[in-house]
Copies of this chain bind each other. A is one copy, B any other.
Amino acid sequence: MSKEDPGYSGLILIEPTSHSVASLFKIRKVLVTEKTPYQEIMFVEIEEFGRALIIDNLIQSTERDEYIYHESLVHPAMLIHSDPRRVLIIGGGEGATLREVLKYKSVEEAVMVDIDEKVVEFSKKYLEFMHRGSFYDDRAKVIIMDGLKYVRETPDESFDVVILDLTDPYAGEVAKPLYSEEFYRDIYRILRDDGVMVTQAGNSFYYKDEYEYVYNNIRKVFPYTAEYWVWVPSFNYTCNFVLASKKQDPYEFTEEMFADRLRNRGIETIFINPSKLIALLKMGIIK
């Protein structure tokens, strides 16, 4: 006389993966649901993944696998630059991109520009294991502002590295200008002459056209580009990245060169290592 539980009962997140594919995650607890002027944000606890930030129903980072995404976003760009001192992060409200950037002792200032102060406020409160205090580091400067505007108003050659930690290029109207040729021209302008840029770029298999739009825009502006991707389990697909640089061809790097830089700079990571860096660059993309 007991009701068989048919399985997925309870609170579920249905995350769209593509036009016709979605993923189901069991939600253990909902900490915050908030509609900000820019997006809908949720801080939740997901079975098997722990605490997570969700924006517009898309998982941004989870306790269990955020290191894969954040290390893959930050280190290739930081490592191919010979001496990164000033770094700009657009987006990245969780503070984990900032955390990875601040691992580099050469960094004198890391400016993080996020449009949504609520994301930063709640990340400080609920995601200590992600930012690990980096918001309070003396070298960190957090600015609540539209990244487009910030970049437009920044003087020429202000940064060594620019890291774009944004929602997917197909995540809505807000995202679109942040993947436009015009925006990349502005970033090129504010980068110093050996500057490096990296952006996450969604998924090139399910969103081939959107990915190509992004990649082609970057290629029109930067002389050197590289494509790579990693599987982020909680995204339920692989995340593509495009790396771009003014002077340094990423493909010239060898495993030994990456090993030297990681060792010399004292960078400790969970996912990224010299062997994986080469693998990322050699893997090509899936369309």
Contacts and interface: CB of A to CB of B under 8 A. Distances in A.
A281 B279 CA distance: 8
Interface in A201-226: 205-207, 209-210, 213
A265 interface: no
A7 B10 contact: no
B3 A168 contact: yes
Contacts of A275: 282-284
B21 A210 contact: no
Interface in A131-182: 168-173, 176
Q: What DSSP secondary structure best describes chain A's contact surface?
A: mixed
A48 B23 contact: no
Contact of A23 (B24, B42, B278, B283): B24
A259 interface: no
B209 A233 contact: no
Given A1-B209, A170-B1, A237-B233, A6 B20 contact: yes
A103 interface: no
Given A47-B19, A206-B48, A30 B11 contact: yes
Contact of A231 (B11, B12, B210, B286): B286
A200 interface: no
B23 A3 contact: no
A39 interface: no
A168 to B, nearest CB: 7
Contacts of A15: 9
B169 A1 contact: yes
Contacts of A286: 68, 231, 233, 271
Max chain B C-beta neighbours (<10 A), residue from A6, A16, A275: A6
Nearest to A45: B33
Given A9-B57, A29-B33, A2 B172 contact: yes
Interface in A260-287: 271, 273, 275-276, 278-284, 286
A9 B16 contact: yes
18 contacts: A1-B169, A1-B210, A3-B19, A6-B21, A7-B7, A18-B48, A22-B23, A24-B24, A48-B206, A205-B233, A231-B286, A233-B286, A255-B282, A271-B286, A275-B283, A278-B278, A279-B281, A282-B282
Interface of A: 1-30, 33, 42, 47-48, 57, 65, 68, 168-173, 176, 205-207, 209-210, 213, 231, 233, 236-238, 255, 271, 273, 275-276, 278-284, 286
Given A6-B18, A231-B286, A236-B236, 15 more contacts: A1-B176, A1-B209, A2-B170, A3-B207, A7-B9, A9-B22, A10-B57, A11-B27, A18-B48, A23-B23, A30-B33, A275-B283, A279-B283, A279-B284, A280-B283
